[in-house]
Amino acid sequence: MREPAEIEIRTPDDFHVHLRQGPALSGYAREAARRFGRVLVMPNTLPPIATPGELASYRAEIRSAAPELTALMTFKIQPGMDRATVRSLRDAGALAGKYYPLGVTTNSEDGISDTDSVMDAVAAIEAEGLVLCIHGEEPGAEILDRERAFLPRLAHLARSFPRLRIVLEHVSSAAGVEAVLALPERVAGTVTVHHLLYTMDDLIGGRLDPHLFCKPVVKTRADRSALQRAVLDGNRKLFFGSDSAPHPRSAKESAQGEAGVYAMPVSLPLLAGFFAERGALDRIEDFVSRFGAEFYGLPPNGGSLRLRRARWTVPEEIDGVVPLAAGREMAWRALDR
């Protein structure tokens, strides 16, 4: 059956974004607000979002930049964080706590090396009905094996806290997909557009593309296929989180290039193309507008967004950042909501 040239979907959510801080924040937040009703905002700022005061002022900063965007807030779990702090963060409006292993990604020098050091915090996250979001990579493991090597910790956390809801963020490997699908319903995963569509060949197979460098790194064709199959299957345990992570061009085109893909401007057009090419455009709405909200226990967004088959070229730079697929022609466009 020929796919339609336009579809209207319920306003989508992005359950994993980095909006940064300071003067750059407003451009990134406004880009998000053009397409998404709600975004789950990651807390790896400097300093991190780890107290009620920091959470409230970060949310206020986002709100003033983009009042029509609902910022769903997270905090960064600190080693030794106590239950009272988690409760106060919940009272301040946090939906989730983010687990960053030590040193595995941007601003994780204060991360967790010993899961035992956060058991109190995780117990409180469970008790308060919050979600545990995990950057699932094992420090010190070989780069392509870091996600797989973390999976025993994921299983251990799921077993130790029988009511805890857990999201394995940016699932990037076949082993990660398999683990999420095998664990109970209360364990889900976010999927980015770059892990769904790209592999190491795109990153380093020809000339190095620093703008596709991220953590976890994009992996093999077999890993990508496992992600694609599970998403096309319409599995409700996998939902959209872009991990849109802008860095200024100079920080990416550098001898010590930062990890992070600025996916926000192109994530919906790329996803529309992915589903449409496989005759499955009717599945995109569940992936971007329903499964994530259901997992988080949020009502569906009001309003809608149109995705239209229309050619356009991705700008080479937006707000000083080179977006994913810069300069490439897109077959689909997301109209502003």
* Residue 140 φ/ψ region, left for φ over 0, alpha for ψ in the -120 to 50 degree band, beta for the rest: left
Is residue 120 part of the annotated active site? The answer reads: no
Closer by beta carbon to ligand DOR, 52 or else 241? 241
Find the shortest distance in angstroms from Cβ 123 to ligand DOR: 25
Among ligand DOR, Zn ion, none, partner that 200 touches (CB below 5 to 8 angstroms by kind): none
What does the binding site for ligand DOR look like in residue numbers (CB under 6 A)? 18, 44, 105-106, 135, 214-215, 245, 259-260
Give the pair of three-digit tokens for residue 289. 């507008």
CA 276 – CA 270 distance, rounded (Å):
10
Find the shortest distance in angstroms from Cβ 74 to ligand DOR: 12
Among Zn ion, ligand DOR, none, partner that 260 touches (CB below 5 to 8 angstroms by kind): ligand DOR
Considering 14, 223, 243, 286, which one is annotated as catalytic? 243
- Cα torsion 173, 175, 179, 180 to 10°: value is 20
Closer by beta carbon to ligand DOR, 244 or else 301? 244
Find the shortest distance in angstroms from Cβ 4 to Zn ion: 33
Query: Which residues make beta-bridge pairs with 191?
Result: 240
Find the shortest distance in angstroms from Cβ 58 to ligand DOR: 14
What does the binding site for Zn ion look like in residue numbers (CB under 5 A)? 243
CA 295 – CA 59 distance, rounded (Å):
22
Residue 265: CB atoms within 10 A of its CB come to 24
Q: Name the amino acid, one letter, at 216.
A: P
Q: Name the amino acid, one letter, at 136.
A: G
Among ligand DOR, Zn ion, none, partner that 214 touches (CB below 5 to 8 angstroms by kind): ligand DOR
Please tell me whether residue 269 adopts helix, strand or coil conformation.
helix
Closer by beta carbon to ligand DOR, 103 or else 205? 103
Q: Name the amino acid, one letter, at 117.
A: S
Closer by beta carbon to Zn ion, 65 or else 133? 133
Give the pair of three-digit tokens for residue 53. 């005061």
Find the shortest distance in angstroms from Cβ 255 to ligand DOR: 17
Closer by beta carbon to ligand DOR, 79 or else 257? 257
Structure letter (DSSP) for residue 112: B
Q: Name the amino acid, one letter, at 7.
A: I
Residue nearest to Zn ion according to CB distances in the complex? 243
Q: Per residue in 287-304, is it b (16+ CB within 10 Å) or e — as a string?
A: bbbbbbbebbebeebeeb
| Catalytic positions | 243
